Structure 1
């Protein structure tokens, strides 16, 4: 059923205005505009006399227009309209840019009420782009006072679409909008004392008092959480309705386990049993394994691959970088041993293979002789065809979107089992919001023998002289026969590696130019402390062969110091590496710093991590760095990260589903609401799986899925 929310803005506002809203704000439908909620509400406040106007204060005054003059701007194109008003005791200027048309209504002698923030220009008080309402000659003083007390919605705006323009457009849309079906069942609405969807939209956009928008936001926030959780739960149930091939573990896994030179941890065994149970079922596994850096998630995934290989099935492991893909391949071959590796023929597919290597890999994949396939995004290409894809493993899920998971899934004749790995611990609310269609398993326990990592903040803002000691400390580790990493946020003065950057990482970062790989390499090679040391660089602009050979040389001990970008963030495993120096650590996110630190202390050698920062004490950027230094517990850090981000990009754009992503719900504060909404949505779906009794909710879910499909098609 079509909803009024699906109507194009052009049909209500006209093509010109609709185009401006689409270009400036990405809003195309009535629903888009009405879910573009005010970010705050301003107070017009008490009426203020012109003689008592304090700077930078929002004021409301009643005054009369004395004169209005329009003139061209000197420095750029456009015009300025300056309107002088007076309340009989003082004079104030109103300034409007490129709005000459207002001269027709702001004529001398007209009285009105004017609201805005007091600024100064050339020593005179002014209001720039104030809100105002002009009176009829016989205006009722009570009506004037009532208008003065209305909350003013302030919208997220741009330089091309102002807040007041959004407010006017919303009013036009609301005036033309009929009744709306309510996706929240009547019983739930009554129980939670929520207003109807239509009433909530009126109250959030056109409140007459503060309690109005409070009630509206409570209703809309719950609706957002409820519809999201219902969508995720229905998606999970639909996956379970499809038939998958049961993959029972057998002798291949049993002999592998028997020959392991170490004991699995308790968590590895417990999670492995959950995975085995999922694989043996005839519905597709859809499981997320989250675990600390170095907790052995990849081994759990490899054991699942062996269970699939037992029945002739193939497994595809999707890795975020070529460095990690090659490392995974080497690690899998080494762990399997020569005989098993020869039988299962692990094969790699990346974008950097030669044409001959690519043909050979594609043939091994399509014939089924490659039972284990490791690759980057190249695995998603149309030319890649599997013989019997039974298991999809996605490593470091935070680097991939839902659509990549789906692109691999559709390469199987029957829905494959899906295993998602992440070393970025996920707070419960994020797991419910982002990965609500997955079952979640957790590995907290680290394998025996993992060495502790000591972390220190090097605060250059207060202790600029400590930088010399950083290089001395790295040199001391090399003297012991160990190796080290130096991580920089940029390759050179013109190239960073945006694919590796976290969206929130630069918020509050120290100003100034970022440390670069090229400059750091030159400085280290010129430093007498490192005379005779082998120092090389690794970054994303190198060829696949170069990156692979550098990592092999580093792993073999032929390189002492690797100066790198965050391409070494995940998966790189060199047991002899003991020291990690992160330059401009404030330019990285919490999870990145935790991942980077996990590259040392992986063998019998204790790890040292020095987080160098120029961020001022007390800044958000400095707090991020200090949070990482304060604990090795990734789960504790995940919670701190949520607190520090102030929401930021917690969900990640690749997870959010375009314009259907969250508006009012905040995973940083709404954990209880999300959990409650999930439980209530589960109850509704259990009683009415097809939602025959809840058509409005079904329509809302279909609309959400359509929006996500649209976003996916737009990206591809």
Structure 2
């Protein structure tokens, strides 16, 4: 058996235990517990239940009676039980007002000694019975020398059990170990297993970070010309930077001066002002005679960035261009040539940016907006658009942006290879958004209120979960809602936007809404990301119970961007599920994006939150981010020590964890 196969089995942990170490009196049996009972057969008979035979045995031990029941049995089995005989049985205790019973009990040899250890019960592995799994793991534990992958001083300084002791305590616990501490994973043995799992994760991230630091990038200096450009930009935009924005600008600017690629995440709540921070980073790259690419997940967002940034940069003498799939081939060819010869300093676009025909003269900085909307390969494609210089690749610096704040524990566990800048305050002129929960049966009143408000000069979004009708449900859809509102209020201008219309149509509709030509915009979640219409002050989210918590918060963030007080109405159907109630309650109680993200993580788990759930393998098998924050912090510290001082132990540790855990999950 190879190392990984051995470790895969050792890390295939029990999910419960049976106590076969002692005989229990019938009168003291506890409901749902696994118990062994010695007794005398008092009665044996067949009982019919739903026209099917049940074999019933009444067992007594002088303290009470226990009923044993078999639904499936052979007649020959019936003859083995004779009134007056002594037997030893075991099983899970079921109790009601009249009877204490065990269904299909296990028969033990009364003359053999009882086990001295709790009996582990495992999830099935393809091709292996429960007994075979138990025997193979027991053989490994008892016969193999289970090596430790951590140096002795790490074990001592972090107060850890040895790996072999932890494994034995979990797979073959003595009767003295409280079962609950094993089941709830609070025992020191579980502390060691979780520590090792997190350490492997942290070591991988540490390796990734250091490999990236060996790559070369242009050192983009924050010179006098750059700071003059920043000053001019602030004057042009009239933006009053917050302390958090200034801090983020300083962190990013320092990273850009390095001769290796920056790999930084800029995160902040909706409306916190990430765009201006990214634009200032772009200015630093452009001032150093390199190019910048900004990639967005949607044409709407790309067009919005372009219309805003091109206006600012034109006054600084900087050429800016937009490229999307809506552009004609002729237009794209012209843009391609201008990017290649360096005539364009900043290009903004969707995934068109990562097409092979787009080549840069010298790409200094790649900016990815709403980075969680892109796959790993898409993000890497933009990062890899470096320039060959004397047989070596010069990589661009990379700045990712996200309006979905990532909880600290999640960032520490999975993103510690990235630097993170956090904008944790909103501009002072931002007015709070009032969130209202309103039942669907008051839809008419909501509609009348929206009509009245937009007649007074405001603008409103009405977001639906679907584009069209479907046979499977009666959810409100965008097309029907648009037609209903348009027919109902003929004096109002109503727009419609959803995923099935062309990119150019989306852009044109958003421009009409931004210019004030539309009063109400009926939409699907295509407007979830980055749309900035200051005059829009009302957001109606239809069937709010059908949206995720992060989606709801992002949609709410589309309003509250001007100087008018804004309202977000969560219109919901009654008979809500528990999770739907949790989401709506969270939205009503807080508008803090970091608190929303923390609550969302509890619902979705790290895999779904980070967009890796589709891999089929959980990011962490044993660790719980909510309860194991301290272990995450310790593993983070240990990884730094082991990476720098114990490379041989690092290799052993990664060999054990990276393949064995994946194998053990795949075998479930």
Instruction: Give the counterpart of 1:685 among 643, 659, 665.
Output: 643
Query: Could you list the per-position Cα deviations for residues 404-445 of structure 1 after superposition, in whole angstroms to 9, with x for gaps in the alignment?
Result: 433322221323211121112222212211221112211123
SS in 1 for 2:197: helix
SS in 2 for 1:600: coil
Residue 537 (1) aligns with residue 496 (2): yes
SS in 2 for 1:271: helix
SS in 2 for 1:604: coil
| Partner Cα distance (2:582, 2:532) in 1 | 28
1:240-389 aligned at under 5 Å gives the runs: 240-250=213-223, 251=225, 254-255=228-229, 257-258=231-232, 259-262=235-238, 263-337=240-314, 340=317, 343-350=318-325, 353-389=327-363
The change in CA–CA distance for 1:383 and 1:615 in structure 2 (over 3 A counts) is: farther
1:136-147 aligned at under 5 Å gives the runs: 136=109, 139-140=111-112, 142-143=113-114, 146=115
| Displacement after TM superposition at 1:608 (Å) | 0.7
Query: Could you list the per-position Cα deviations for residues 500-527 of structure 1 after superposition, in whole angstroms to 9, with x for gaps in the alignment?
Result: xxxxxxxxxxxx754332343344335x
**Is the Cα–Cα contact under 8 Å of residues 14 and 120 in structure 2 kept in the other structure?**
no
Residue 228 (1) aligns with residue 228 (2): no
Instruction: Give the counterpart of 1:150 among 113, 118, 135.
Output: 118
The change in CA–CA distance for 1:84 and 1:680 in structure 2 (over 3 A counts) is: same
Instruction: Give the counterpart of 1:637 among 587, 596, 601.
Output: 596
**Is the Cα–Cα contact under 8 Å of residues 33 and 93 in structure 2 kept in the other structure?**
yes
| Partner Cα distance (1:68, 1:394) in 2 | 72
| Displacement after TM superposition at 1:532 (Å) | 2.9
The change in CA–CA distance for 1:40 and 1:312 in structure 2 (over 3 A counts) is: farther
| Partner Cα distance (1:697, 1:495) in 2 | 56
Paired position in structure 1 for 2:464: 488
The change in CA–CA distance for 1:261 and 1:517 in structure 2 (over 3 A counts) is: closer
Residue 87 (1) aligns with residue 64 (2): no
1:350-499 aligned at under 5 Å gives the runs: 350=325, 353-412=327-386, 413-458=393-438, 460=439, 465-494=441-470
**Is the Cα–Cα contact under 8 Å of residues 43 and 152 in structure 1 kept in the other structure?**
no
The change in CA–CA distance for 1:317 and 1:31 in structure 2 (over 3 A counts) is: farther
1:14-53 aligned at under 5 Å gives the runs: 31-32=7-8, 34-41=10-17
| Partner Cα distance (1:385, 1:493) in 2 | 43
1:84-233 aligned at under 5 Å gives the runs: 87=59, 92-95=68-71, 108-109=79-80, 113-116=89-92, 118=94, 133-136=106-109, 139-140=111-112, 142-143=113-114, 146=115, 150=118, 152-153=120-121, 155=123, 165=129, 168-169=132-133, 171-173=135-137, 175-176=139-140, 178-209=144-175, 210-211=177-178, 213=182, 214-233=187-206
SS in 1 for 2:237: coil
**Is the Cα–Cα contact under 8 Å of residues 229 and 316 in structure 2 kept in the other structure?**
no
**Is the Cα–Cα contact under 8 Å of residues 498 and 524 in structure 2 kept in the other structure?**
yes
Query: Could you list the per-position Cα deviations for residues 440-466 of structure 1 after superposition, in whole angstroms to 9, with x for gaps in the alignment?
Result: 2111232343233111122x3xxx643
Paired position in structure 2 for 1:18: none
SS in 2 for 1:294: coil
Query: Could you list the per-position Cα deviations for residues 151-190 of structure 1 after superposition, in whole angstroms to 9, with x for gaps in the alignment?
Result: 55364x7xx969x946743642552573344233222223
**Is the Cα–Cα contact under 8 Å of residues 659 and 707 in structure 1 kept in the other structure?**
no
Residue 670 (1) aligns with residue 628 (2): yes
Paired position in structure 2 for 1:517: 478
**Is the Cα–Cα contact under 8 Å of residues 496 and 522 in structure 2 kept in the other structure?**
yes
**Is the Cα–Cα contact under 8 Å of residues 290 and 364 in structure 2 kept in the other structure?**
yes
| Partner Cα distance (1:304, 1:661) in 2 | 32
Paired position in structure 2 for 1:6: 4
Query: Could you list the per-position Cα deviations for residues 176-229 of structure 1 after superposition, in whole angstroms to 9, with x for gaps in the alignment?
Result: 573344233222223444333344334333434444732321110111222222
**Which structure is richer in relative contact order (CA contacts within 8 A, separation 6 or more)?**
2
| Partner Cα distance (2:606, 2:71) in 1 | 34
| Partner Cα distance (1:472, 1:170) in 2 | 67
Runs of at least 5 residues in structure 1 that lack an aligned partner in the other structure:
8-29, 75-79, 97-101, 497-511, 711-716
| Displacement after TM superposition at 1:473 (Å) | 2.4
Q: Could you state the TM-score of these two structures normalised by the residue count of structure 2? A: 0.81
Query: Could you list the per-position Cα deviations for residues 293-330 of structure 1 after superposition, in whole angstroms to 9, with x for gaps in the alignment?
Result: 11211111111112212233222223223332332222
Q: Could you state the TM-score of these two structures normalised by the residue count of structure 1? A: 0.76
Paired position in structure 2 for 1:565: 524
| Partner Cα distance (2:229, 2:302) in 1 | 26
Instruction: Give the counterpart of 2:619 among 653, 661, 665.
Output: 661
In angstroms, what is the RMSD of aligned CA positions?
4.2
| Displacement after TM superposition at 1:83 (Å) | 6.8
SS in 1 for 2:540: strand
Runs of at least 5 residues in structure 2 that lack an aligned partner in the other structure:
82-86, 387-392, 664-668
Paired position in structure 2 for 1:700: 653
| Partner Cα distance (1:698, 1:614) in 2 | 54
SS in 2 for 1:307: helix
The change in CA–CA distance for 1:548 and 1:83 in structure 2 (over 3 A counts) is: farther
**Is the Cα–Cα contact under 8 Å of residues 57 and 117 in structure 1 kept in the other structure?**
yes
The change in CA–CA distance for 1:566 and 1:660 in structure 2 (over 3 A counts) is: closer
The change in CA–CA distance for 1:322 and 1:182 in structure 2 (over 3 A counts) is: farther
Of 42-51 and 367-376, more deviation after overlay is shown by 42-51
